Amino acid sequence: MLEENLKGQLKQYLDLLENDLVLRLNADTSDANGKKVHDFVTEIADMSPRITIEPSSDIKAPGFSVDQKGSISGVAFAGVPLGHEFNSLVLALLQVSGREPKIEADLKARIQSITKPYHFETYVSLTCHNCPDVVQALNIMSVLNDNISHTMIEGGMFQDEINARGVMAVPTVFVNDEEFSSGRMSPEEILNKLIGQVGSDSFEDKDPYDVLVVGGGPAGASAAIYAARKGIRTGILAEKFGGQPLETLGIENFIGTPYTEGPKLAAQLEEHVKTYPVDVMKTQKAVKLAKNELVEVTLENGAVLQSKTVVLSTGARWRSLGIPGEEEFKNKGIAYCPHCDGPLFAGKKIAVVGGGNSGIEAAIDLAGVVEHVTVLEFLPELKADKVLQDKLYSLDNVTVLTNVETKAIHGQDKVESVDYVNRETQEAVTLELAGVFILIGLVPNTEWLDGVVERTARGEIIVDKQGATNLPGVFAAGDCTDSAYKQIIIAMGSGATASLGAFDYMIRN
Ligand SMILES: Cc1cc2nc3c(=O)[nH]c(=O)nc-3n(C[C@H](O)[C@H](O)[C@H](O)COP(=O)(O)OP(=O)(O)OC[C@H]3O[C@@H](n4cnc5c(N)ncnc54)[C@H](O)[C@@H]3O)c2cc1C
């Protein structure tokens, strides 16, 4: 079942096992899926003398757990963790065997402080690039705390269960049988949701910064590195470290790197920032900015951070339609990530709202998986590049409707139909379908700066050549600004500019 190159890589990792492992297996080989899991587990065990298999009826079938001999780790996999989940399996093997997970000491202490029992289940698809982060975080929590256990469930093998539980987006996490979350989450976010945020008292002793960066995407990471390299006191806070690259699969225009993937780049940004003495504050949201003697940034938890200069790099998020049903059916048929959630709509009818590059790329991608795609575009023509449009029109399971306004999304527990109006004829139509992917562009994350820094009508922060805003000491970079183009390399460049601008301001004031 494992390709030769994967086997080669796995062999090297298995040499690093610190203790013997037992894979406790529950798989009925008279059933096709059971046989797949059985053969997969056997193939892995055959590769290392340190791994044995034991039958167990305690494990979700078809599936297996990863344990040290004589103890229970709580880490289990239902289905076959191949595709994007193969790394999750490799890490689980190493961590359960005794290799320390790579997490910060304070995070480890928070995980180990949990005394209530929690059993997590995560539904994934093997093509989902957001899923491994959640699976790996919950596996680490299981390894570090006996009160926590986690089973990854490969949705393709558990279709009936997915339908029964109403799972329409991956990763979807249940804890103690209650739905817990949907979408990518870092270990910090999982902990915040489970046991509450780190209180404002943890921020009380922080001295003022020279440069405080708000936002941890490409622009923010670049600004923090440029500031730290000047030897000045630098802090960075981010709601989700990594920013939009976390939602991006292939990146082919990051000059000097012909191909990389968004989550990998996001992890490298954090790693790079941490090679410098930067105070990194993750899962922290800024809610207010004020200029007194110093610039003051208030966090959602009430803490106030002070800095001589601030670089705003809060980027952008998916624009929503603002129509009835949109909020209600999020992750219940409304989706934003074709790579992640496409397989959940296999054989079903869906719509893509948005005829720009991201909408048409999604429609092409989804047409290969679903029964039929209807593209709904507000303008009289699609805005996507011609090469994408040519590909789209060559597909026979796609209908393109232009000059239509999407009005409402309906359903009982999940999406069942979408209403649109033909803007020319005013004809109102209801399309029966199972999913709506909304890809209508981005909106800058700058509402919290209302009335504080000058912004365009679209909400973009207005900056000059040094990245300076109208507020002295406050700079901005990346997609939250009025820069002409929004790209990773441009955001990184502007992060560097804003940081150098802030340094220049600091030495003159
Ligand atoms: C699906 C998709 C595919 C893309 N593909 C490519 C590509 O192939 N190549 C390319 O060059 N570009 C691509 N882009 C664009 C690129 O990702 C962006 O231009 C780039 O990420 C912008 O970086 P940024 O740092 O300005 O903002 P972001 O990446 O949006 O980062 C913003 C950061 O600010 C944080 N934040 C937001 N609000 C707050 C707050 N109030 N308090 C604290 N933190 C906050 C966020 O959590 C995040 O850490 C793509 C974008 C998308 C959505």
Residue 274: CATH number of its domain: 3.50.50.60
H/E stretch holding 68 reads strand 63-68
Q: With a cut of 90, say whether residue 202 has pLDDT above it.
A: no
CA distances from 271 to 131, 188, 239, 242, 278 (A): 20, 16, 17, 11, 11
Supply the residue whose CA is at minimum distance from atom 15 of ligand 1: 487
Predicted pLDDT at 127: 86
> Of 411, 440, 469, which one is at a domain's C-terminal end?
440
Rounded to whole angstroms, how far apart are CA atoms 426 and 403?
A: 10
Neighbouring CB atoms inside 10 A of 355's CB total 26
361 in contact with ligand 1, CB cutoff 6 A: no
* pLDDT tens-digit readout, 277-328: 999 999 999 999 999 999 999 999 999 999 999 999 999 998 999 999 998 9
Structure tokens belonging to residue 372:
């039929």
45 and 168 belong to one structural domain: yes
Mean pLDDT of 401-430: 96
Confidence tier at 338 by pLDDT (50, 70, 90): confident
Rounded to whole angstroms, how far apart are CA atoms 400 and 382?
A: 9
- Output b/e per residue, 4-20; b: 16+ Cβ within 10 A: eeeeeebeebbeebeee
Is residue 325 assigned to a domain? no
**Alpha helices (runs of H) in 82-177, residue ranges in sequence order:** 86-97, 105-112, 131-144, 159-165
Is residue 328 assigned to a domain? no
Q: Is 353 annotated as a binding residue?
A: yes
Is residue 363 assigned to a domain? yes
Is residue 494 assigned to a domain? yes
- The C-alpha torsion from 296 through 297 and 303 to 308, rounded to 10°, is -50
Is residue 467 assigned to a domain? yes
Ligand 1 centroid–CA 443 distance in Å is 11
- Output b/e per residue, 161-184; b: 16+ Cβ within 10 A: ebeebebbbbbbbbbeeeebbbbb
294 and 368 belong to one structural domain: no
393 and 260 belong to one structural domain: no
Place of tokens 């990194």: 280
252 and 298 belong to one structural domain: yes
215 and 138 belong to one structural domain: no
For ligand 1, mutation pick of 185, 314, 483 (most atoms within 8 Å of CB): 314
223 and 116 belong to one structural domain: no
Q: Is 175 annotated as a binding residue?
A: no
Is residue 423 assigned to a domain? yes
For ligand 1, mutation pick of 259, 488, 494 (most atoms within 8 Å of CB): 488
394 and 469 belong to one structural domain: no
136 and 14 belong to one structural domain: yes
Q: CATH number of the domain that 156 lies in?
A: 3.40.30.80
CA 165, 166, 172, 176 dihedral sign is: negative
Range of the domain at 453: 203-317+443-508
251 in contact with ligand 1, CB cutoff 6 A: yes
Predicted pLDDT at 197: 85
Ligand 1 centroid–CA 218 distance in Å is 7
CA distances from 77 to 88, 374, 428 (A): 10, 36, 47
Rounded to whole angstroms, how far apart are CA atoms 211 and 502?
A: 7
Count how many domains the chain has. Answer: 3
pTM comes to 0.84
Supply the residue whose CA is at minimum distance from atom 13 of ligand 1: 487
**Alpha helices (runs of H) in 98-245, residue ranges in sequence order:** 105-112, 131-144, 159-165, 187-195, 218-228
> Of 403, 424, 440, which one is at a domain's C-terminal end?
440
78 and 19 belong to one structural domain: yes
Measured CA angle at 205 (ends 201, 206), to 5 deg: 110
172 and 34 belong to one structural domain: yes
Rounded to whole angstroms, how far apart are CA atoms 107 and 195?
A: 12
439 in contact with ligand 1, CB cutoff 6 A: no
- Could you report how far apart the first and last alpha carbons of the chain are, in Å? 65
Percent of the chain residues past pLDDT 90, beyond the cut: 86
Ligand 1 centroid–CA 152 distance in Å is 28
Rounded to whole angstroms, how far apart are CA atoms 503 and 509?
A: 10
Ligand 1 centroid–CA 77 distance in Å is 32
216 in contact with ligand 1, CB cutoff 6 A: yes
Is residue 80 assigned to a domain? yes
Ligand 1 centroid–CA 216 distance in Å is 9
Supply the residue whose CA is at minimum distance from atom 12 of ligand 1: 487
453 in contact with ligand 1, CB cutoff 6 A: no
Is residue 147 assigned to a domain? yes
Rounded to whole angstroms, how far apart are CA atoms 462 and 466?
A: 11
162 and 297 belong to one structural domain: no
Q: Is 363 annotated as a binding residue?
A: yes
488 and 377 belong to one structural domain: no
317 in contact with ligand 1, CB cutoff 6 A: no
Predicted pLDDT at 406: 98
Mean pLDDT of 459-473: 98
473 in contact with ligand 1, CB cutoff 6 A: no
